[in-house]
Structure 1
């Protein structure tokens, strides 16, 4: 199982070597220029009927990357001939072979020191079972994945995981490295409860920070990482891997590890996977960044040259097959970052309009077409030199999917310079998905799942990928959410939990519209393209963590004395 990159010297995946660093910031000058062109049209979208303003009542965890999933009883959406038809999944998705006869948690495990798969390890130099800890230090919170593996075969095999999350994330402790390190105690204490005492000194732990910490800057992020490393080393018995125990993870590894996790659990890339089970494309949407990873197919009859050389090219040996993947991580295009980008564009446009009209009242309400109609949101925006400014924004009677989408056309930077063609958005090379991935299955993770599934009103479980639905569902839901309380009552009035969520999250309109824009405008999928939403598979969280942990446990095991 080997990773290589055309621009870096990657070690074998079993070696557990971590990533480097790469960042790409959004070019605001091009947005400002484009924004000025649309000043005269943005402020007059949508119907003008009067709607009473609803005061913003934030719901706890409004910016969570993984908020609690609402449990909604099965029902049907009220019919309305004037509305677009919504593509709601109705059947159970295909899932991996059932493992219900195997332990799926410490509570169902008859012996945490043994395994039901064998009585002795494949190699006498390895323990029968092995635990590993991966802490995902994301932009909105820190999460620990406590994995159990067995060594019945030539390489460690995953059994189950224990998952816990805390908030806020490490990036919220700028200038407070000791507090940042201490914030991880509840996660590590949970690991102490799960991992048997005799195995703790041989249970590796890694902390991999993602987009949120990247945006803090080198000095502050390095101070936090050092404090975390020293804190774990002094207070807990777990060893670090030989390299990159506490690091900021490169976005390309984040995406590829997520691709491995999903396709490993879906049994499309393992040595025993069916030959007619091509791997899924995996699109992950976090708070600060978003990733796309897929295995492009190039037909010789078209004269294709294959995947062009560059950082986007990732060669992988896994499950007895050599694969060439396309991957890219868009820093600044996660959901939280996209919100800020939209709000900054709206604020800029408002400042130009106000200056033209001679209105310099900074306390007045800013009309934002990406907030639900009738909603009000207090928004904090950067003001330079590390300061922030707080403004009040309202969806008023202009909030709408169509109006918000026009703002997002600027944020997506489709007209940016494309040095290596073809490009997706923001000047990034990507082979055409119509040609290189025309019929492959697509799995959407993280915020894609969290924002859409509560509104579908379908009986579903987060432990399996949802049945396929078309991308047009994002647009249909966005139109209903952006239209405000009258629309909410029509479609979700019978569900107080959903109504409370919508009332507390004015940006749900923005979130859904951005997700649709990312898929259609950014990646250029068709509205009728089928996708699946995923959160967990048989209790295991989807994301990059399992893939990265397989790398760690596959290396040389070093125990602490």
Structure 2
């Protein structure tokens, strides 16, 4: 979804500080001590079954809640094997990289029986290649499986050296050489789609990096670059819509063979620099005021013989890593105003969005002076869900001018979730999965997750190491995650604020997290890969 920030058109940084300045008289409201309160809206299934045997007054905080499992174990829905051979899920289980178990000849004469597509996701924190195998047993290419590899850091880390940026992708393209049969390489399309990380560099630096990437692929690799946009910064709206296609394709809700009137999932993707939301709203024709307002947010998609009218928006600057920077900058600004002679005791800034009794040295960017300085921040005794959430209310810019109503946050138009998507399923991707999954129970039945459960998790994490020991003492994976990330409190609180305050999902709304489905990465890449191989591609084989 576009790098623009919606109809309000305001820059991310100054708006936050303007709002902050207006609330300086309420600093105690942000940082002042408050009595802990039990969070409302938590599903009773999350209660400790042994709670009746202990003193309720000492059991303020609930155990790690049971959340829904991810989608990795869901049975495949996207292919039908007509052969007695098992359906391959990787090159290691594929009996013939040049053939397929689904048919012996292509649907259309002249088409290759199988073809491959290479999609490189050049994100803000790393680059990833998706090597897709498709077969042509039907009228359009059908996805079989994926090979995935990633590398760090992302292209934007090489802002001063475009050639090194291009070379950083060699390890990914070399993997493609190992997978794609030699005879098919010259008719295997490749695309490099950069996302928010390069968008934020500016046209001069990002353009130099993209040109270097294109030149290196053309000079060193046999794969096909199709057109000028094959190495480019992806439009934000395409990023979100392609992620929506990927999820709903794999979940069998938008293909030509999908059940009639199959409900589609809303897809919410949280990256490092931006976040996207895409869903298919339904409007009541009997209400004159209930209609889809025209604009860039409206996306008509023809797929599987049906037209889907989607709402989509990409919030540049509201990815998780940038949300962290915004929170730290706001907290440091407020602290500097409160302490005229410096920041708190020993120059340490109390930060309510760090877990209690944890500490982190963070870099604060002063956009006005163009400087970066290091500041020590500590959760001290102020860290907690309630106090951190008050900071999030400022960061989310919920009170920004809404010129085209209704709005979600930051002045951006969004059809009402309650009115137009009241019962639809919600899929959370990327950092949502990365932060929530490690904290889930490992030895119980597939759990259930609601929006309010994210608040419960955040509450437990923000209380610091004693709370971690109470809820995850027997989970080494969870403890390892928490012990090295004081900002876990910030991350979970931001995710909850994004869903509840930003998009206005109800606390009891059920959500699902996902990373892979049937061995395939969820995200925009497969949707873009389907479009990549669906175009006209002529080559000699």
- TM-score normalised by the chain length of structure 2: 0.89
CA contact (8 A) 2:127 2:150 kept: yes
CA deviation profile, 1:22-60 (whole Å, cap 9, x unmatched): 467743333223223132332223579xxxxxxxxxxxx
1:520 aligns with 500
Q: Quick check: 1:291 aligned with 2:273? A: no
- TM-score normalised by the chain length of structure 1: 0.86
- The alpha-carbon distance between structure 1 residues 104 and 343, as it changes in their structure 2 partners (threshold 3 A), is same
Determine the C-alpha separation between the residues in 1 that align with 2:215 and 2:490.
40
Determine the C-alpha separation between the residues in 2 that align with 1:303 and 1:237.
56
Alignment of 1:502-517 (within 5 A): 502-517=482-497
Q: What is the Cα deviation at residue 83 of structure 1?
A: 2.0
SS of 1:326 mapped into structure 2: strand
1:367 aligns with 350
- The alpha-carbon distance between structure 1 residues 427 and 107, as it changes in their structure 2 partners (threshold 3 A), is same
SS of 2:361 mapped into structure 1: strand
Q: What is the Cα deviation at residue 243 of structure 1?
A: 3.6
Alignment of 1:113-512 (within 5 A): 113-355=98-340, 358-359=341-342, 364-384=347-367, 386-459=370-443, 468-512=448-492
CA deviation profile, 1:97-137 (whole Å, cap 9, x unmatched): 56693000000000100001111111122111000100000
CA contact (8 A) 2:281 2:310 kept: yes
* Pick aligned residue for 1:40 from 28, 41, 45: 28
Determine the C-alpha separation between the residues in 2 that align with 1:219 and 1:29.
24
CA deviation profile, 1:229-287 (whole Å, cap 9, x unmatched): 10111111111012411100011100000000000000001111112421111111010
Determine the C-alpha separation between the residues in 2 that align with 1:287 and 1:77.
38
Gaps of 5+ in 2: 37-47, 52-57
* Pick aligned residue for 1:108 from 67, 89, 93: 93
SS of 1:359 mapped into structure 2: coil
Q: CA RMSD in A?
A: 2.4
Determine the C-alpha separation between the residues in 2 that align with 1:437 and 1:90.
20
- The alpha-carbon distance between structure 1 residues 543 and 91, as it changes in their structure 2 partners (threshold 3 A), is closer
Q: What is the Cα deviation at residue 388 of structure 1?
A: 1.6
2:74 aligns with 95
Determine the C-alpha separation between the residues in 2 that align with 1:312 and 1:363.
48
SS of 2:208 mapped into structure 1: helix
Q: How many residues align?
A: 510
CA deviation profile, 1:187-213 (whole Å, cap 9, x unmatched): 011011111111111111100000111
CA deviation profile, 1:493-519 (whole Å, cap 9, x unmatched): 122232122110011000000000000
CA deviation profile, 1:420-472 (whole Å, cap 9, x unmatched): 000000000001000000011111111111111111114589xxxx7642111
2:44 aligns with none
- The alpha-carbon distance between structure 1 residues 429 and 560, as it changes in their structure 2 partners (threshold 3 A), is farther
Gaps of 5+ in 1: 1-18, 49-75
CA contact (8 A) 2:116 2:188 kept: yes
CA contact (8 A) 2:100 2:114 kept: yes
